[in-house]
Amino acid sequence: MPQHVVVVGAGVIGLSSAILLQQARYTVTIVARDFPAPFETMDPLTKINYTSPWGGAHNRWVPPHPSLPATLAREHAFSLRTYTHMQNLHASHPDTAGITFLKGVEYLERPGPEHLALSTPSNPNALNLPGNFRLLEESEFPADGGRVKWGCEYDTWCVNPMVYCSFLLRRFVHRGGRVVARELRRPEEVFAMIGSELGGNDGEAVAAVVNASGTGLVPDPDMTITRGQTCLVAEDCDATVTRQNADGSWTFCVPRGFEGGTVIGGTKEVNNWDVKPSMEVRAELLKKFGETYPKILGEKGELTVVRDIVGRRPTRNGGPRVEGEVMPGAGFVMHAYGLGGRGYELSWGVAEAVVEGVEAQIRGAEARL
């Protein structure tokens, strides 16, 4: 009989994990407080703790480097795996998955060692990034008096988050996945739920629980949030452009595609819980992006605001937590949370690690019988 795995969370991490677990022939139920819904009806006041709707979301490489935290190497490997999955999903479902492939352009005012290493191909740290990675010539930098010091472009992907997540949910259910809308106090609660509460038969045991609860409810002392304010505009853009400013702030755009407009961003404010967008910040974001990439302004010469966005990136001290844990008196919990500002970027790599963790646990348990 197939083993039953319950995934807590229906953000991008829970959904991707659920699909790969299902592919690995487990019976899978998703239990979550929030599920994907049209972005247009998503209420920021009640859904602020559900991060996935408020993301961009694009893929931008963050190369590992000996001078940076070692956890970045695993994250980078996750992002490469995600890239491959996105290519495949886009190829098989170009009109429905919510994925767009386009140029990613980066302009850095203060490039770190990980980027400078990419400029010296003979350097052993130089990475073979996919997507026709190319360094920009100085003549291709924004004309603003030499503030940009380093630039590159490559083919990358963006998703329209709620189109994409709804696609994942639909695919999961179409393939026999079960969903239960429920708020839990702790992920271990699932082990005490009876089969019928999980959409199955009474007496059906849960072999493993995946904790993909994002910002979560039970405080992990290492968890906090990083507030992000962005602004959705109606204009399309031909690239996802990211600029690192000398003061450490970021100016970027993420075209959502599928008539979802373009996200102009964005702030990164650790431990700021303010749910209200600031109008001064909006004006600043739009002004800076217009200066960086004037092409987006078109003939009208200005951007058309659709709505302001505030989101909470589930941030964890020490990096994402993707590991298994046996909870005494409950069962095996596979954690997959704390993805910060990279949940979409790393999603399929994390999901593969979740399947590996669950398989190792279940095989181990069977061997002990």
C-beta of residue 209 within 8 angstroms of C-beta of residue 331: yes
Give the one residue of 162, 254, 333, 354 binding ligand FAD; rule: CB under 6 A: 254
Which one of ligand FAD, ligand NAG, none interacts with residue 57, CB within 5 to 8 A by kind? ligand FAD
Residue 56 interacting entry, from ligand FAD, ligand NAG, none, C-beta within 5 to 8 Å by type: ligand FAD
Tokens of 2: 């197939």
Residue 104 contact among ligand NAG, ligand FAD, none, beta carbon within 5 to 8 Å by kind = none
State the nearest-atom distance from the C-beta of 142 to ligand FAD, in Å.
21
Does the annotation list 312 as a binding residue? no
Does residue 183 bind ligand FAD (CB under 6 A)?
yes
Q: Which of 337, 351, 355, 357 binds ligand FAD (CB under 6 A)?
A: 337
51 is in an annotated binding site: yes
214 lines the binding site for ligand FAD (CB under 6 A): yes
Residue nearest ligand NAG by beta-carbon distance: 216
**Binding positions for ligand NAG, rule: CB under 6 A:** 46, 48-49, 186-188, 211, 213-216, 218-220, 223, 333, 335, 337
Q: For ligand FAD, which is the closer residue by CB, 112 or 277?
A: 277
Of the candidate spans 148-156, 172-180, 276-284, 340-348, the one that interacts with ligand FAD by CB under 6 A turns out to be: 340-348
Instruction: Say which entry of ligand FAD, ligand NAG, none residue 342 contacts (CB below 5 to 8 A, set by partner kind).
Output: ligand FAD
If the CB atoms of residues 118 and 179 are measured against ligand FAD, the closer one turns out to be 179
Could you say whether residue 51 binds ligand FAD (CB under 6 A)? yes
Q: Is 341 annotated as a binding residue?
A: yes
Q: How far is the CB of 232 from ligand NAG (least distance, A)?
A: 20
HEC string of the chain?
CCCEEEEECCCHHHHHHHHHHHHCCCEEEEEECCCCCCHHHCCCCCCCCCCHHHCCCECCCCCCCCCCCCHHHHHHHHHHHHHHHHHHHHHHCCCCCCEEEEEEEEEECCCCHHHHHHHCCCCCCCCCCCCCCEECCHHHCCCCCCCCCEEEEEEEEEECHHHHHHHHHHHHHHCCCEEEECCCCCHHHHHHCCHHHHCCCCCCCEEEEEECCCCCCCCCCCEEEEEEEEEEECCCCCEEEEEECCCCCEEEEEECCCCCCEEEECCCEECCCCCCCCHHHHHHHHHHHHHHCHHHHCCCCCCCEEEEEEEEEEEECCCCEEEEEEECCCEEEEEEECEHHHHHHHHHHHHHHHHHHHHHHHHHHHHHC
Tell me: does residue 33 bind ligand FAD (CB under 6 A). yes
Kindly state whether residue 98 participates in binding ligand FAD, applying the rule CB under 6 A. Answer: no
The residues of the shown chain that bind ligand FAD, judged by CB under 6 A, are: 8-14, 32-34, 50-52, 54-58, 183-184, 212-217, 228, 230, 254, 265-266, 311, 313-314, 337, 339-345
Where is the binding site for D-serine, in residues? Answer: 313
Where is the binding site, in residues? Answer: 51-52, 313, 341
